[in-house]
Structure 1
Amino acid sequence: MRRIMLAFLLTAITAAAQTNPEVQSRAQAATPKPKIVIPAGTTVPLALTEPLLARSAKAGDSIYAETAFPVVVNNQMAIPVGTYVQGQIDTLTRSGWLSSHAQLQIHFTKLIFTTGYTVELTVLQDTDQEMPSASPESTAAATPPPAAGDVIPAVATPYVEVSSRSEVLLDNGSQIEMVLQVPLRLNAAKVAAAVRQSSPRPLTQFKSATRRRPIPTTSGTSDTAIPGTPGTPPTVIPGGPGMPDTVIPGTPGTPPAVIPGSPGTAAVPCPGPPVVGSNPKPQSYRKSFQIASPLRISGIPLVSGSYEVAWNGSSPSAQVEILENGNSVARVPARVVLLRGESPADTLGTRADADGSLSLQSLRFAGEKLALYLDQGTE
């Protein structure tokens, strides 16, 4: 009997020893990995690692760059310097004789850390931060937005001052800003490993792609003087008896001739390097929208009716003004977000507040490829 009990006990211990690692393995797999969430609206400075040539650059071409300055979230490194970034040109307006600037719109497709850890930027990531809700103003609570996936996750819209004579549109090392339009979720452990291996290169190591060289000035040539020739006197041949003399006329002299020299030429400098800056004449926007039921914006109640929103520029941030019958009722900061395509209809995004009311959170406009995400903080 004791032997039977001992055998049973040994079997139970062996089974427990085999089962416990499996349970631990499943528990470890189920444990969520630490994440770093970079908030929407974050700008990431980039330096191009391959140039864009003025004549050949076109929509659809790839963009290659690396981060020129680190991104830090809550005192933790999120994107180290030297992280590779790949993107694609969506639109390109070239410089010309009448305009010395070019405008690009770029969307980015992936981040590649020095360890090979790759983050795709082509889809909206699942994050802990909720996107603003699409408005059913007639309901009591906000609901998830049906159009959240139309936001391009990461974009850049560089405005470039560049001569029409320049062969380079954006040179090696040219700096542009990538804007994260949605929160970006990263694996904290993989980021930490990449930070340990990161080794940024100085911007001085970027070699210009231009092949143009300045043409020096020339002094020209002086006039060339060709002296004239003296004439010859007539020649007289005496005639015979009863014959007159024969006179051979002389030749007239020629005056001196002057061949003008060639004028000098002025020096032809190389076109200045492309300079990325901001548009000095930003476009003004003024859009109408309808509110079907009462909403709030920055704590200010808005009754149902017709309103307008106005702002300047398409940069990532703007100060927008809400107008009713032409009168300002609110001014709030907002993010100007680029979309994948034109919005099919006007859409209001709302947020449910603690007291059960709804606050205006976002605006989309029919036929436009941009949206406004209002920053009202927490009320």
Structure 2
Amino acid sequence: MVSFRFERHQGTATGPRRGTLHTPHGAMETPAFMPVATRGMMRGILPTQLEELGSRMVLANAFHLYARPGVELVQKLGGVHGMLAWDGPILTDSGGFQVFSLGALGKVHADGVRVEHPVYGGSIDWTPQLAFETQAGLGPDVAMLLDVCPAEPLDQKKCAAAVERTLAWARIQRDLHDARGGAASGQAQFGIVQGGVFADLRERCAQALVDMEFDGYAVGGVSVGEGHEAMMRGVEHSTHVLPVDQVRYLMGVGTPQDLIEGVARGIDIFDCVFPTRAGRFATALTDAGRMHLLNAKFKDDDRPLDPGCPCAGCVSGVPRGALRAGFKAKELLPPILVSLHNLHYVHDLMRRMREAIEAGTFEELRRRVLAAYLPEKLAGDPS
């Protein structure tokens, strides 16, 4: 079995990096994006299509798989790899963000979080121990810690409390991981840096996690309403503390502008529902920016979705006007075709980033992406 390791080929702790992430189920070139199969399946996209689009690693959610169909059934189906019919690497999130998103339905306490069962009602006491055992049973290549994602990233007192609880739970889960054999068991474990928008909290959390010697590190608690600039400052406050030769993962981030700005700050891997969710809501990603297909100007447009794009959605022969009409009629095909295109676009953008880092032209690519997706940032940049 191939051990888990990260090779850094180019780059530093806080700038764009080029690397390879090795796992028991294969390697992935970084920087890279992971599509999200929350409940063990992608909506309307076949596993074979994922690979054709450029996916190398997929994310699933341990909390949702625990809730349904349950760990025992997933194991009978061949583990999370069998359930997803995916031979490549898989990362499972512990459900910390999902608990946060349930708001008042989740009650955080010293030993875990009591949350309403999302399928059957009643309550689940989702603890660090249960999150660890669930992921050990599911069998992904990478298991994420159960952490506390603060509901208010601008509230310093609440963020400080979230950091302390995150670190206490991290110690519990790290000890369980070590007792199971660590990464040699076939499963790596990543720590998650919290701290909201506060530099001192981010740095304290990151350093404490580094001292626990995790197999990789994630930046969590971002993209939760704090705004782009504050989010990127949170990334900066985290990455400069993390080991330069270990993989860094920015959780829940997937817009083109956030991907390239994350890579610019030393992030290696990303995940997000954004590309497919945007596709389901008639928004396509292109080098010219977002294309909102429900706009009336596309009513009679007979051009392919994104001319020159080789993805299945664009070579299908279905023109923009027909896609618009299909969305209006709530047909199933248009959301699938645009989702396929968006995933291809994001994977291709990551490929272009890798090539630009190697060629020393990353800043040129960065400016082109920002011009299309975040022009106000360039307007304020004197360079």
Instruction: Assess same fold via TM > 0.5.
Output: no
The alignment's TM-score, normalised by the length of structure 1, stands at 0.22
Q: Which has the higher contact order (CA 8 A, sep 6+)?
A: 2
The alignment's TM-score, normalised by the length of structure 2, stands at 0.21
